[in-house]
Amino acid sequence: MGEKQRKLLVLYASQTGNALDAAERIGREAERRGLPASVVSTDEFDTSSLPHHEEAVVFVVSTTGQGDSPDSFKAFWRFLLQRNLGNYWLQQVRYAVFGLGDSGYQKYNFVAKKLDKRLSDLGATTIIEKGLGDDQHPSGYEGTLDPWMLSLWRTLYQINPKYFPKGPDVKIPQNEVIDKPKYRILFHKQETLEPKLLSDSDIIQRARGMSPGKLFKDKSKPDCFLKMTRNEVLTKAESTKDVRHFEFQFVSSTIEYEVGDVVELLPSQNSSVVDAFIERCGLDPESFITVGPRETENSSFSEEMITQIPIKLKTFVELTMDVTSASPRRYFFEIMSFYATAEHEKERLQYFASPEGRDDLYNYNQKERRSILEVLEDFPSVQIPFDWLVQLVPPLKPRAFSISSSPLAHPAAVHLTVSIVSWITPYKRTRKGLCSSWLASLAPEQEVNIPVWFHKGSLPAPSQSLPLILVGPGTGCAPFRGFIAERAVQAQSSPVAPVMFFFGCRNKDTDFLYRDFWESHAREGGMLSEGKGGGFYTAFSRDQPKKVYVQHKIREMSKRVWDLLCDGAAVYVAGSSTKMPCDVMSAFEDIVSEETGGGSKEVASRWLKALEKTGRYNVEAWS
């Protein structure tokens, strides 16, 4: 009897959707070579069954923030860390790890690296060296994924040719769509629908609950709605940046939050662009639909789809599909090629979807940040069915912001400090951030209800007895405005520990965010005054010939910083993820090394790692 058909298991952990996209691509490429593949999220997989997977297992994991793992990975990882598993628990398993990260962050691809080591420690055998995808690569993570996959297929074939009976490089011809969309759309006759009075919250929950963007299934219903009460420009007209201070009040229900928390806002898309997308796709905006998974080839519509309350197509697009700002992924161009009726368009799309066309696609698509609508307009012969669009258009994601208020100092209000994103592409096109530019366009008198979700960020709320060293250049100062406002209120009725704050920006006259607030607290007897054991230190990088940054100011104050650390202070760092967190960490390493009698950088690094482990060194960085 011949050996049974081999299979591939692809396990992924994704926070924003990139790891899911990469995992699905690995699964598709395997099946095109004749190797059946299952693609499963780590939070939907029975981890205890891992030793029984004698087939190849590929792990695709992303690293978020400062080395954090995606939420869907946490329970899986805890299971793997159990001490009773032993060194031979996975001795039957062959595995490969592909990580997605950003080398601009200090803990680049940390989750993939620790997973690779742990699987090896548990006795699993690696198929090929782990692949580390990098957002900073000219072609993004795909620049690493393409060659890594080719190596994976060839190595599997060497291990056992049964994986690919026709060889690792044989592909099914691409002249017809070999995949089916994963979702079905059920169109409803309007006359059969009963009119239902639904709240905004219910409509959002219904639309996002149906959407394939399964990453937000758990939080499809907003925690509450906020209404803007203030929109103030903080930077001066001569500044190169437009930074705003926004204030909001709760609509109907109030959510309790703490300083250091994060709020996510669901932005509104430009209605005329949404209309243009619907028209370009030949859809009826007024039609009513339900969306559900395509179970099997022969199955009729699932019971869940039939019992769902239908939603208007335009509403579904507006609330779940990012047609105005996000760029499509490579697979979108591949599917487009099947539906192109003009030969020159088909050829160009096939080239874009091929490994050879990857760099040109990156320059055309991601670098220019072309929207779905713009891409469709560039290929007028393409008419993609709506079920494919529902699957392939990037999901509309809430945008996260550090809260810059304190519930003690600003009751029933939420404040945000937002840099309005705008840039020029290589082809000299102006691009704007969807959420920030939308917020900037709002006026309080419009009374727009904004759906929001609250959650914990990377900055835990400190107790008032904990001394603080805060580092927040640019909009990184946002959470610390809340910290200091809160501690100032606490100081009115009980003793509080001292606070040192290092702030930085380009120019004192144009970019000094919340200047009056910080300076008032730095005056005698204020929360940031040296007399109270704290201090306020500024770095204006462009106000002198030699650039000065927050890390230089931290080194200048090394004695005071060290004394506060010895008093049990916690360090909080917030701001841009590019170089700042590494440079600040390096400044603290220099201080620890110097103050402990000229110890090595390694010793200082271990000292700071111990601070991190005890929750006394916290970083929240964003790109």
What is the 3-class SS of 345-400, one letter each residue?
Answer: HHHHHHHHHCHHHHHHHHHHCCCCCCCHHHHHHHCCCCCCCHHHHHHHCCECCCEE
pLDDT tens, position by position, 396-454: 989 999 999 999 999 999 999 999 999 998 889 999 999 999 999 999 999 999 999 99
Q: List CB contacts of 74: < 8 A, sequence separation 6 or more.
A: none
Residue 482 assigned as binding residue: no
Residue 280 assigned as binding residue: no
Residue 529 assigned as binding residue: no
Indicate if the pLDDT at residue 506 is higher than 50: yes
Q: Is the dihedral of CA 66, 72, 77, 82 positive or negative?
A: positive
- R_g (Cα) of the chain, nearest Å: 27
Residue 475 assigned as binding residue: yes
Residue 618 assigned as binding residue: no
How far does the chain reach from its first CA to its final CA, in angstroms? 56
Indicate if the pLDDT at residue 4 is higher than 70: no
Residue 18 assigned as binding residue: yes
Distance of alpha carbon 229 from alpha carbon 413, whole angstroms: 9
- Partners of 185 in beta bridges: 291
pLDDT of 140: 81
pLDDT bucket at 295, cuts 50 / 70 / 90 = low
Amino acid identity of residue 149, one-letter, is M
Residue 604 assigned as binding residue: no
pLDDT bucket at 167, cuts 50 / 70 / 90 = confident
| Adjacency order of strands within the sheet including 570-576 | 535-540, 499-505, 468-471, 570-576, 617-622
Indicate if the pLDDT at residue 538 is higher than 70: yes
Measuring CA to CA, how many Å separate 302 from each of 201, 202, 208, 291, 306?
Answer: 25, 22, 18, 10, 7
Q: Is the dihedral of CA 404, 255, 66, 102 positive or negative?
A: negative
Residue 62 assigned as binding residue: yes
Higher per-residue confidence, 207 vs 467: 467
pLDDT tens, position by position, 211-270: 776 544 456 889 999 999 999 999 998 888 999 999 999 997 889 999 999 999 999 999
pLDDT of 297: 45
pLDDT of 269: 96
For residue 47, report the phi and psi dihedrals to the nearest 5 degrees.
Answer: -60, -30
CATH number of 8-172: 3.40.50.360
Indicate if the pLDDT at residue 468 is higher than 80: yes
What 3 state SS string does 34-57 have? Answer: CCCEEEEEHHHCCHHHHHHCCCEE
Mean pLDDT, rounded, for 135-143 = 83
pLDDT bucket at 105, cuts 50 / 70 / 90 = confident
Q: To which H or E segment does residue 234 belong?
A: none
Average pLDDT over the chain, rounded to whole? Answer: 90
State which fold the 468-621 domain adopts.
Answer: Rossmann fold (3.40.50)
Residue 17 assigned as binding residue: yes
Amino acid identity of residue 350, one-letter, is Q
Mean pLDDT, rounded, for 20-28 = 92
Residue 433 assigned as binding residue: yes
Q: To which H or E segment does residue 456 belong?
A: none
Residue 547 assigned as binding residue: yes
Distance of alpha carbon 90 from alpha carbon 50, whole angstroms: 7
* DSSP annotation of 283: -
pLDDT tens, position by position, 357-399: 988 998 999 889 999 999 999 999 999 999 999 999 999 989 9
Amino acid identity of residue 25, one-letter, is R
Indicate if the pLDDT at residue 2 is higher than 50: no
Residue 596 assigned as binding residue: no
Query: Of the ranges 161-170, 507-516, 557-566, which one carries the lowest mean pLDDT score?
Result: 161-170
pLDDT of 165: 86
Residue 446 assigned as binding residue: no
Q: List CB contacts of 98: < 8 A, sequence separation 6 or more.
A: 22, 26, 58, 59, 60, 61, 112, 130, 131, 132, 133, 145, 148
pLDDT of 618: 94
Indicate if the pLDDT at residue 305 is higher than 70: no
Residue 64 assigned as binding residue: yes
pLDDT of 169: 82
Distance of alpha carbon 417 from alpha carbon 419, whole angstroms: 7
Which residues belong to CATH 3.40.50.360 in the chain?
A: 8-172
Instruction: Pick the closest to residue 118 from 66, 54, 69 (CA basis).
Output: 69
- Share above pLDDT 70 across residues of the chain, in percent, rounded to a whole number: 93
Which residues belong to CATH 3.40.50.80 in the chain?
A: 468-621
- Share above pLDDT 90 across residues of the chain, in percent, rounded to a whole number: 69
Residue 15 assigned as binding residue: yes
pLDDT bucket at 298, cuts 50 / 70 / 90 = very low
Pairing assessment for the beta strands 288-293 and 311-312 based on DSSP bridges: antiparallel
- Partners of 231 in beta bridges: 246
The pTM of this model reads 0.89
- Decide: helix, strand or coil at residue 596: coil
Q: List CB contacts of 581: < 8 A, sequence separation 6 or more.
A: 66, 105, 106, 573, 575, 619, 621
Residue 505 assigned as binding residue: no
Distance of alpha carbon 336 from alpha carbon 351, whole angstroms: 12
Residue 135 assigned as binding residue: yes
Residue 401 assigned as binding residue: yes
Mean pLDDT, rounded, for 96-115 = 91
Query: Of the ranges 303-317, 321-335, 447-461, which one carries the lowest mean pLDDT score?
Result: 303-317
pLDDT bucket at 106, cuts 50 / 70 / 90 = confident
Residue 16 assigned as binding residue: yes
